[in-house]
Amino acid sequence: MSLLTVRDLRVVIDGLHILHGVDLDVAATGVTALLGRNGAGKTTTVKAVMGLVPRTGTVTFDGTDIGRLPTHRVVRRGIGYAPEDRGVFAHLSVAENLRLAERDPHPAYDLVHELFPELERRRGQPAGTLSGGQQQMVAIARTLLNGNRLIIADEPTKGLAPKIVTEVADVLARAAETVPVLLVEQNLALVRRVAGHCAVLADGRTAHQGDARALLADEDAARRLLGVGAHRPAAPAAPEGGPR
Amino acid sequence: MNTVVLLTCTGLGLGALYFLIASGLSLIFGLMDVLNFAHGALLSIGAYAAWWAATDGGLGFWPAVPFGVLVGTAASVLLELALIRPLYARPRDQILATVGVGLALPALITGVWGSDARPFPQPAALSGTVDLLGAAVPVNRFVLIAAALAVLLLLRLFLARTRYGLIVRAGVEDRAMVTALGIDVRRAFTLVFAIGGAAASLGGALAGLYFGSVNPSQGTGLLVFAFVVVVMGGMGSVTGAAVASVGVGLVQQFANYYTAAGLGDLSVVVLLAVLLLVKPRGLTGRLA
Amino acid sequence: MTTHLKRWWPLALLLALAAAPYSALPLPGLLDGPLGSPGSLQLIALCLLYGGLATGYDLLLGRTGLLSFGHALYFATGLYATDLAMLEFGLGFVPAALLGTACSVLLALVLGAVSLRVTGIGFSMVTLAFAQAGAILVQRNPGGYTGGEEGRSAPAEHLPDALIGIQNTANLYWIALAYLVLVLAVVHWTVSSPTGRVWAGIRENERRVEVLGLRPYGFKLVAFTVSGALAGAGGVVYLLLTGGATPQAAGSDATLALLVMVVLGGSGTRWGPLLGGVLYTWAAHRLGDLANSGSVAELPSVLRVPLSQPLFLLGTLFVAVVHLLPGGLAALPARLRPGRAARAAAPVTAVPEGAA
């Protein structure tokens, strides 16, 4: 039983076809990983689900069609979104960044402060002056403040130091105990650790869906679909083709 | 010395007028990327509504000003809801729509009240001069400056202390991300149009005081200078607009007086081009 | 038969227009006097001139996607430079006209080179600033050259006899017609040239042009300069038609009028800007007369006041076209055809409200 079902998702931006028909099922529990090489359309797919880019196709969330809803109403259905570039408001303070995300009458600040004690200490600091890892914490914290039914995190560990990657992974694993997570990730070690189900995109289409660990254990399939052995590529990730 | 004091006060008064136009313009552009060519027309609406209320309406000056602000605000909200909102997916067409409104509204005012300047009633309390350091400065200069300061203070409070102020500040940085937090940013759009319309129409009513009369093309004439202020101050920055208003008003007054007439206006406009060329990012400023 | 009609109607129309001065056809409502009368010819000539100006402006707006708010500057430069060359340097009309147009080209080249360093709305505002500076300069009458508010009349003694006097209106009319044909030819030729295809690419997506290894800047500057040259030549024709240079030609309203014409008619189409220019100019002149006519004067003021202001009607029509008819009047036939209309009306995709 999947919580989010995407069928034949297509995106055209400025005359460029970016997605040619993506199918995606996000499991109702645990972490679903969205994988693929750079430029395969992972970020565009999650943006299209969020309604941040013009899209066609069907997107069903918990039985209702959200494929035509504007972004803010998609979010209000209970989807928390931590975008690829973290989407932190650099000139606002940490507290203001969090306050902006409040939707529930009683936002879960206890949880956020327990997971990220640093954010509480730095609440008055402009978010733009935070380190990359701290900014990512702000982005994830914003999704945890409300009682979301799905969290979408787009490359939350990109560009982070290994120690911080572990920290973020811990938080995602902990969050996934109570709320399903759709995780776009290049770090396959992390995927192996947290993900159950996975989908692989190639050239704007779904190339594979199935069990994440099974895929990563199959060296041939992993190399064919992801272009790598089952470890993170050495070169730093280039930005994807889609617009910000 | 007398002349310097008088020029300073007049320049500050003019700067205050620019600020009343530019603050809203700046917020609207910063948040929505809409360069509102109808903003001058909103000023004219405020000016004529106040003028009408003070003369034909028989309200007297003091109630006429809030009346003008009310009408201007309503017109601005109507403009956003009816003409700008349906065009959100077509940013260039939004600007074109405001161009059309900017042409049509002054023409309508001309149709109703004629193209000649109408004398604006000056209440006795504001018609005299104040002796400041030996110069006789018209009281209305101080009224404008006080009004602009009050608007600046209110805007800063709004931006710093209210949830919608927070949404506006965040939206200036990244509008899409605001919606991705579940916020209907369109409400903030309507709100900044309301704020901009209110400030501009207040400017219109007070411009009647400053110039002594109202005419249909007054607002459009001031608009270009307001653009200069907005770009100088950084799009979306209210404090920047305030500082730039003062600068532009003073430069204009002093240059017009001490060099050939018109050179002040010219230098300010050329300054706009130079600024944009030297600092193209001036268009994507930040709120402060 | 119909394909022949489709192919040859522009030529037929051109011949009909060229023959108009010999016609005494009365067009009540459309024109005050018969077709060939000086008054009518003068109005049609202005319509044709603005049709040409709008077509030249669309080289920027519709063909290259550049929203310039300063086009009137190059029009006014051609107008004033030609007039002043005759008045101050005592040049004959033809050398003065060449000089005036050359001034426009040069100014467009220099200011275009500067303005195009910024993109998007920044470009629009820089062009606006330059044009506004020009307008202020003309208004303030530096050194008594521009004549300030009054403007300056063209010196009759420097103009050829065939271009002076009401009896020679037909000659001026033919010049305006020739100007329009020139603009249409230049625009058609440049747009279908390799450069024109790059312009189309820039309009669609500038970044993709860069990816192809081309520098959009140079191509945009060519468009800006050609468009400025056409505007300058239009200024010369305007000088002949109105017999003088007035500051209204330099004001920002003049640029906005061109913008309205182009969008009204249909930006980026072959005939749209021409249609818009003709319609706008005709309406701006005739609606004023209409308002003074008996039938309107008797209307209640709620109707009479808006009807008496051409700019109000045109501004409102413009807003309506922007909203309801994105392709302008030129897109109307295609819209009215069933099937196509339905497709054009239905948005293909859900559009995000925050992005864009």
Q: Is the model more confident about B262 or about A61?
A: A61
Kindly state the average pLDDT of the residues B108-136.
84
pLDDT, tens digit, for every residue of A97-156? 999 999 989 999 999 999 999 999 999 999 999 999 999 999 999 999 998 999 999 999
Q: Which residues of A touch B187 (CB under 8 A)?
A: none
User: Domains of chain C by range and CATH?
Assistant: 37-250 (1.10.3470.10)
Q: Which of A72-81, A182-191, C9-18, C80-89 has the lowest mean pLDDT?
A: C9-18
Band (pLDDT 50/70/90 cuts) for residue B280 is low
Band (pLDDT 50/70/90 cuts) for residue C240 is very high
Looking at residue A135, its pLDDT comes to 94
Q: Is the dihedral of CA A76, A79, A80, A86 positive or negative?
A: negative
Looking at residue A15, its pLDDT comes to 76
Q: Is the dihedral of CA B162, B163, B165, B170 positive or negative?
A: positive
Looking at residue C341, its pLDDT comes to 43
Neighbours of A204 (CB within 10 A): 21
User: Which chains would you list as touching B if contact means 3+ CB atom pairs under 8 Å?
Assistant: A, C
Kindly state the average pLDDT of the residues C303-318.
83
pLDDT, tens digit, for every residue of A3-21? 999 999 999 987 788 999 9
Q: Is A41 left (phi over 0), alpha (psi -120 to 50) or beta?
A: left
Band (pLDDT 50/70/90 cuts) for residue C350 is very low
SS (H, E, C) C74-143: HHHHHHHHHHHHHHHHCCCHHHHHHHHHHHHHHHHHHHHHHHCCCCCHHHHHHHHHHHHHHHHHHHHCHH
Which 3 state secondary structure label does DSSP give A26?
strand
* CB-based contact A72 B166, cutoff 8 Å: no
Looking at residue B170, its pLDDT comes to 93
Q: Is the model more confident about A239 or about C22?
A: C22
Residue C181: pLDDT over 90: yes
Do the interacting molecules here have an ipTM over 0.90?
no
Instruction: Give B170→chain A minimum CA distance, Å.
Output: 6
* CB-based contact C355 A52, cutoff 8 Å: yes
Q: Is the dihedral of CA C77, C82, C84, C88 positive or negative?
A: positive
Question: What percent of chain A has a predicted confidence (pLDDT) above 70?
Answer: 93
pLDDT, tens digit, for every residue of A188-206? 888 988 888 999 998 889 9
Band (pLDDT 50/70/90 cuts) for residue C339 is low
Question: What percent of chain A has a predicted confidence (pLDDT) above 90?
Answer: 57
Instruction: Give B257→chain A minimum CA distance, Å.
Output: 41
Band (pLDDT 50/70/90 cuts) for residue A238 is very low
Chain A, nearest residue to B163 by Cα: A100
Neighbours of A114 (CB within 10 A): 11
Instruction: Please list, in sequence order, all residues whose beta carbon lies within 8 angstroms of the beta carbon of residue C22, skipping any fewer than 6 positions away.
Output: C36
Task: Confirm if B232 and B144 have CB atoms less than 8 A apart.
Answer: no
Task: Confirm if C73 and C250 have CB atoms less than 8 A apart.
Answer: yes
Residue C299: pLDDT over 80: no
What's the CA gap between C55 and C227, in Å, rounded?
A: 9
Chain C, nearest residue to A14 by Cα: C205
* CB-based contact A91 B185, cutoff 8 Å: no
Band (pLDDT 50/70/90 cuts) for residue C96 is very high
pLDDT mean across residues, chain A:
87
Residue C345: pLDDT over 70: no
Looking at residue C294, its pLDDT comes to 65
Going by C-alpha positions, the residue among B244, A242, B217 that lies closest to residue C253 is B217
In chain C, DSSP assigns E strands to 152-153, 244-245
Band (pLDDT 50/70/90 cuts) for residue A82 is very high
Band (pLDDT 50/70/90 cuts) for residue C208 is confident
* CB-based contact A91 B176, cutoff 8 Å: no
pLDDT mean across residues, chain B:
88
Chain B, nearest residue to A48 by Cα: B180
B129-132 vs B118-119, strand pairing mode: unpaired
* Apex B95 CA angle, B94 and B99, nearest 5: 120
Kindly state the average pLDDT of the residues A72-97.
94
Q: Is C151 left (phi over 0), alpha (psi -120 to 50) or beta?
A: left
What's the CA gap between B48 and B68, in Å, rounded?
A: 7
CATH fold group of domain A2-226? Rossmann fold (3.40.50)
Residue A123 has what DSSP assignment?
T
A79-82 vs A150-154, strand pairing mode: parallel
Q: Is the model more confident about C277 or about A224?
A: C277
User: Which chains would you list as touching C if contact means 3+ CB atom pairs under 8 Å?
Assistant: A, B
Task: Confirm if B169 and B178 have CB atoms less than 8 A apart.
Answer: no
Q: Which residues of C touch B280 (CB under 8 A)?
A: 117-119, 122
Q: Which of A112-121, C251-260, C288-297 has the lowest mean pLDDT?
A: C288-297
> Which one of B103, B190, B230, B232 would you mutate to disrupt binding with C, by most C Cβ within 10 Å of its Cβ?
B103
Does B170 lie at the interface with A, CB-CB under 8 angstroms? yes
**Sequence-separated contacts (24+) of B260-264 with Cβ below 8 Å:** B260/C140, B260/C142, B261/C140, B262/C136, B262/C137, B262/C139, B262/C140
Looking at residue A113, its pLDDT comes to 92
Residue C342: pLDDT over 60: no
Q: Which of A85-99, A139-153, C302-316, C337-351 has the lowest mean pLDDT?
A: C337-351
Kindly state the average pLDDT of the residues C119-130.
85
Residue entry with tokens 């040069």: C106
Does B177 lie at the interface with A, CB-CB under 8 angstroms? yes
Instruction: Give B146→chain C minimum CA distance, Å.
Output: 30
C294 CB burial (10 A radius; 0-12, 13-18, 19+): exposed
* CB-based contact B276 C310, cutoff 8 Å: no
Band (pLDDT 50/70/90 cuts) for residue C346 is very low
Residue A217: pLDDT over 90: no
What's the CA gap between B101 and B65, in Å, rounded?
A: 23
Looking at residue C347, its pLDDT comes to 40
Q: Which of B99, B112, B260 sits opposite C259 (nearest CB)?
A: B99
Band (pLDDT 50/70/90 cuts) for residue B70 is very high
* CB-based contact A54 C350, cutoff 8 Å: yes
* CB-based contact B104 C311, cutoff 8 Å: yes
> How is chain A split into domains, by residue range?
2-226
Tokens of B62: 């003091």
A31-36 vs A181-184, strand pairing mode: parallel
Band (pLDDT 50/70/90 cuts) for residue A53 is very high
CA distances from C287 to C30, C43, C313 (A): 10, 13, 9
What's the CA gap between B217 and B197, in Å, rounded?
A: 17
Interface contacts B/C by beta carbons within 8 Å: 149
Looking at residue B288, its pLDDT comes to 38
What's the CA gap between C277 and C46, in Å, rounded?
A: 9
Looking at residue C136, its pLDDT comes to 86
Band (pLDDT 50/70/90 cuts) for residue B92 is confident
A232 CB burial (10 A radius; 0-12, 13-18, 19+): middle
DSSP letters along A43-73, please?
Answer: HHHHHHHHTSS-BEEEEEETTEE-TTS-HHH
